[in-house]
Every structure is written in C-alpha cells, then in structure tokens.
Amino acid sequence: MRDQINPEHYRGEIETVDFMRANAKSEEFFLEFCRLTALGYIARCGKKPDNPAAQDAEKAIWWLKWIAGHDPRNR
C-alpha cells in the first residue's frame, strides 16, 4: 500500500524532512516549521474535495510527532 503521509517521492538519498532539519538555522526553527505545517493541515482538514479529512489529520499528526520528540517514521 502506498504511504499517503510520507510518500516515496519525499525520499531519496536524504529524505526531504531530514534535509530541511539539517538546513534549519536551529532545532527551534525546525520545530516551529513543524507546528506551522501541522496547523496548515488542520486548517484545510475536510476542505479539499479530492482528499479525505482523515488524511489531512494524519499528516498533521505526523508533523506534531516531531514536536513531541518522536520520529514519525518509526526510526
């Protein structure tokens, strides 16, 4: 089954989230990015006709896990 939350095209030699974290000016900056990204998914939850609300909720949770100190990729 295709991963709808962290799809294959986000991965490569280095995953996009790892690249972003490595290039953030600080860990606090990265975590603020995670918070705002989650907020964006929450704000759009249930408003996109081709995307179930549950998928946006799962994406928000994925980003919030970083703030809680957990890697949502289960690493």
Predicted TM-score of the model (pTM): 0.78
- Number of other residues whose CB lies within 10 A of the CB of residue 38: 20
Q: Tell me, what DSSP letter sits at residue 10? A: G
* Residue spans per domain, the chain: 25-75
- How many CA atoms lie less than 13 Å away from 55 in the CB half-sphere? 12
How far is 53 from 60, CA to CA, in rounded Å? 11
* Per-residue model confidence as pLDDT tens digits over 35-71: 999 999 999 998 888 878 989 999 999 999 999 999 9
Q: How far apart are CA 35 and CA 60, in angstroms?
A: 9
Tens of pLDDT along 27-36? 999 999 999 9
Contact 41, 61 (CB under 8 A): no
* Cβ pair 65, 5 in contact under 8 A: no
